[in-house]
Structure 1
């Protein structure tokens, strides 16, 4: 298709395109347009870009095209995001995804993901339908400030007050914000320990009526995590403001979400968060549990909340997880329910499974009401982590492994781990060739249709994220900041979460990878950097 044809081709297949033709003028520069500012695309129509967007990936331009391919790719990204804002308000998406509100990031190289009801981009979090944004707080590991502010600009929110806490040091962050972004306050969270990192990924969005939403995510705030890799996020319902001077404990949820979040934010002990703490004067309409970790030594059952994944998950499952009891010789026992762990990185566990993986991590994950904190549980543990072939066959080849920082030297010391490993395969969600940056944990029924619980978190399978070994008095050392949310069926009025074969009156729980699992072949090796 030549340039003239591209310029003339205007799609009439979507309501979005039909609507915008009536209120926009065509860009006077046509195919020669080099603008990438979202405000320009809100004002002017670009039929040639509409045509390219309809063709999908890969992007192919005629040899004599007047604009560089990189410029066109940026223009298409802006246009794609603006379409997402216009086509379906985010409030409708939230309604469609009730009660779980669990979403996964879209993958541009897998266009099918744009049509999935629980696929979104970052720009959706700023959709005007959610409310008039007053201010926001972003807590994360890696933050690309230029990319982040472009997302706010696409939604017209770039001037609103924004506070950022981040873990990965960016020497230019402070200079850039001071010179260019007077509305942005930032703080680099530095840790004293050698292995800990500030790895939490949380967004808090406050609206003009002082209501708010909380987002807990697995994604860093930069282009790759929201476009190249699979990430997941939970979005809270709208939490309305309480009357001024309401009691401190007012508005609490049945899962103590509010007090856990408030306590977590207080652990930073930062003056810039004082305003953020006052904004939590809301009614928390949340039925998931907030799971947090902060650096330090933590003892189980001493104080609530406990900012340690090992302790929090283990105690909650011990209190609330119900597995079928073996009542007849032919009925299944609780041990027939397998623990599944999926992450984007794997830590150093020791010379054998009992040094930490089974004695410590599985002590937490295998807990249930009839088996509290089992030592070296016999429960089956399966770890989903991409093979070398998974990565090489991904959309980006070896670069697709950029989100999978498992060390080759560590892998050489724990070859026994291969007995626990399963391939990354996500055909059902069209994401097999997009490598996973998600971190999810669950317990699945023998028939592979039900879950006893589900956790999505920033915590990889590592001592740094979950906690070191637990001593005789129940104390462990936690090196890192981490945050996740735990779904327990009883709080959703269910016995178990159904992930397939649901009855008409049961909503399926969103699941990202394929079940049953695909084992490693004898020749397979885990991807290592």
Structure 2
């Protein structure tokens, strides 16, 4: 039997291929409301952007939540947006709670994309890269992790007296539960059993997380010092790799990394070096010489890939990289998302034409024939998201909320007779690839060559093993160390939102015409308004957008 990682993409409306690896938001949130065991008791939805009308039209069963529906967002006026929606009267106000997480450091945002749904059957945890807006789910490329966990069997009723905040047993299931609880604590969402305004702090102990396939990597804003600095952001990556991989890598081969994101902040050399170091922290001697610094491939779409995408120029609004944030380190490591003129000439819509909003970071094998590990996350490449080391490396400053999952060779779905589902009427399908779905099958290599166990596979929306470099990337790499000052080849240039864009897009519009008619191609007014407000804020504070 093939070992499958719990990794899915979103279903693109324009694609006619129905792939088991492509999910809709309805797949994650909908239940059979006639089955009381399926109806949600608690739901927590966290995101950066919400379109209330669309969200509840897609998943009306959310309004049947028995005890509490939590909506977590950094957006101002979320409660008012809901009260003015057509669904505001469909749920008792006592059963819905709006949470605006604290942002203790300037310029931070709540960027996590998360759904936790509890019913009588168990708990569903979904972590993804899409906002709760229609175009994110129907037109862009996203990544999705989701797993269902059953209720523990034959356990005594958990009481507050018997509740232990952190289980000290060191296995993946307990780590998953504890990391999730640690992250949710930052929302101040847990409460005593007698307080109906929160999630009971004993609730997670009712579920069996033993089949958790992934590790969690979160970012919580604040100044994290001492050992706490290794619980979040890039500190968490470093400590996780050290604990899982220490001693399995040597320094004889140059480490290979792929970074893929939809935006980047104002980067510094020190930050980039620390990100590199965190992702190779399992190497015994971490004092990596220049000769053995990782080789990094940055996968990011070109201007032509945005122009020729399903959304045309408008798709670039979700890639808000600004000229002031471009960095030489990134410029000479750029690789295309994967859509080319040849694809256009085939006159066939492919997944490659969907602008990437997914964020993924991974370590490749030295032979570039498989992956060592993968991180799927909401976090773009920025100091706000991953943190910045301060005070001689003793303090990690993080500005934003982020959440992601870590896949390795143990990250496969455990299947006995059948896959457990908290929604038997609508189970999540096992991921697989079908002809024409545009997904690439990639293996995660086992840490040690023992036994004959198969290696788990993911179906990714791009090829991290054989990306196509920008023409300028090849030119910069070839001229490195020489005095060649030739003008850069402009054939491939990265999408940068605040420079002039010329020509007609795939929808026959020029850039300014596309901006004026954005509502006609499924972008909500709320999304555009939020982007414009953030753009103004950035210009005022000279900082980067990080959506």
Both structures adopt the same fold (TM-score exceeding 0.5): yes
Please tell me whether residue 233 in structure 1 is matched to residue 150 in structure 2. no
Q: Is the CA contact 1:457–1:484 (under 8 Å) kept in the aligned structure 2? A: yes
SS in 1 for 2:352: coil
Q: TM-score, normalised by structure 2?
A: 0.68
Query: Aligned to 1:388, which of 282, 303, 307?
Result: 303
Q: Is the CA contact 2:230–2:236 (under 8 Å) kept in the aligned structure 1? A: yes
Distance 1:458 1:466, change over 3 A: same
Distance 1:100 1:325, change over 3 A: closer
Q: TM-score, normalised by structure 1?
A: 0.70
Q: Which residue of 1 aligns with 2:53?
A: 146
Shift of 1:287: 3.1
Query: Aligned to 1:520, which of 460, 470, 482?
Result: 470
Distance 1:258 1:416, change over 3 A: closer
Structure with greater contact order relative to length (CA < 8 Å, sep ≥ 6): 2
Please tell me whether residue 423 in structure 1 is matched to residue 336 in structure 2. yes
Please tell me whether residue 274 in structure 1 is matched to residue 186 in structure 2. no
Q: Is the CA contact 1:298–1:475 (under 8 Å) kept in the aligned structure 2? A: yes
Mapping of residues 296-375 of structure 1, within 5 Å? 296-299=222-225, 302-303=227-228, 306-321=230-245, 333-335=252-254, 337-350=255-268, 354-357=269-272, 359-372=273-286, 374=288
Distance 1:221 1:501, change over 3 A: closer
SS in 1 for 2:198: helix
Mapping of residues 60-139 of structure 1, within 5 Å? 99-112=4-17, 115-128=18-31, 131-139=38-46
Q: Which residue of 2 aligns with 1:80?
A: none
Q: Which residue of 2 aligns with 1:264?
A: 183
Q: Give a deviation string over 1:201-243, Cα, whole Å, max 9, x none.
A: 111110124x211111111111111111111111123242454
Q: Which residue of 2 aligns with 1:462?
A: 382
Gaps of 5+ in 1: 1-95, 327-331
Residues in 2 aligned to 1:394 and 1:247: alpha-carbon distance in whole angstroms? 52
SS in 1 for 2:180: helix
Distance 1:119 1:437, change over 3 A: same
SS in 2 for 1:489: coil
Q: Give a deviation string over 1:277-314, Cα, whole Å, max 9, x none.
A: 442122213131111111111235x24x9442111101
Residues in 2 aligned to 1:184 and 1:97: alpha-carbon distance in whole angstroms? 42
Distance 1:274 1:158, change over 3 A: closer
Q: Is the CA contact 2:3–2:412 (under 8 Å) kept in the aligned structure 1? A: no
Distance 1:207 1:384, change over 3 A: same
Shift of 1:506: 4.4
Q: Is the CA contact 1:164–1:185 (under 8 Å) kept in the aligned structure 2? A: yes
Shift of 1:419: 0.1
Q: Give a deviation string over 1:321-344, Cα, whole Å, max 9, x none.
A: 368766xxxxx9331x41101011
User: In the comparison of the two structures, how many residue pairs are matched?
Assistant: 413
Q: Is the CA contact 2:249–2:283 (under 8 Å) kept in the aligned structure 1? A: no
Residues in 2 aligned to 1:375 and 1:199: alpha-carbon distance in whole angstroms? 35
Shift of 1:417: 2.5
Q: Which residue of 2 aligns with 1:173?
A: 81
Q: Is the CA contact 1:295–1:477 (under 8 Å) kept in the aligned structure 2? A: yes
Q: Give a deviation string over 1:378-410, Cα, whole Å, max 9, x none.
A: 110111111111101111111111210111232
Q: Is the CA contact 2:70–2:96 (under 8 Å) kept in the aligned structure 1? A: yes
Q: Is the CA contact 1:97–1:118 (under 8 Å) kept in the aligned structure 2? A: no
Distance 1:237 1:371, change over 3 A: farther
Query: Aligned to 1:202, which of 106, 110, 114?
Result: 114
Gaps of 5+ in 2: 344-348, 414-440, 446-451, 472-488, 498-547
Q: Is the CA contact 2:4–2:457 (under 8 Å) kept in the aligned structure 1? A: no
Query: Aligned to 1:284, which of 209, 212, 224?
Result: 209
Distance 1:184 1:251, change over 3 A: farther
Distance 1:307 1:165, change over 3 A: farther
Distance 1:261 1:325, change over 3 A: closer
Residues in 2 aligned to 1:215 and 1:252: alpha-carbon distance in whole angstroms? 24
Residues in 2 aligned to 1:373 and 1:284: alpha-carbon distance in whole angstroms? 37
Shift of 1:170: 3.9
Residues in 2 aligned to 1:380 and 1:438: alpha-carbon distance in whole angstroms? 21
Q: Give a deviation string over 1:487-514, Cα, whole Å, max 9, x none.
A: 1225659xxxx81599995442222212
Residues in 2 aligned to 1:283 and 1:437: alpha-carbon distance in whole angstroms? 32
Larger radius of gyration: 1
Pairwise CA RMSD? 3.3
Q: Is the CA contact 2:6–2:412 (under 8 Å) kept in the aligned structure 1? A: no
Q: Which residue of 1 aligns with 2:506?
A: none
Shift of 1:445: 1.7
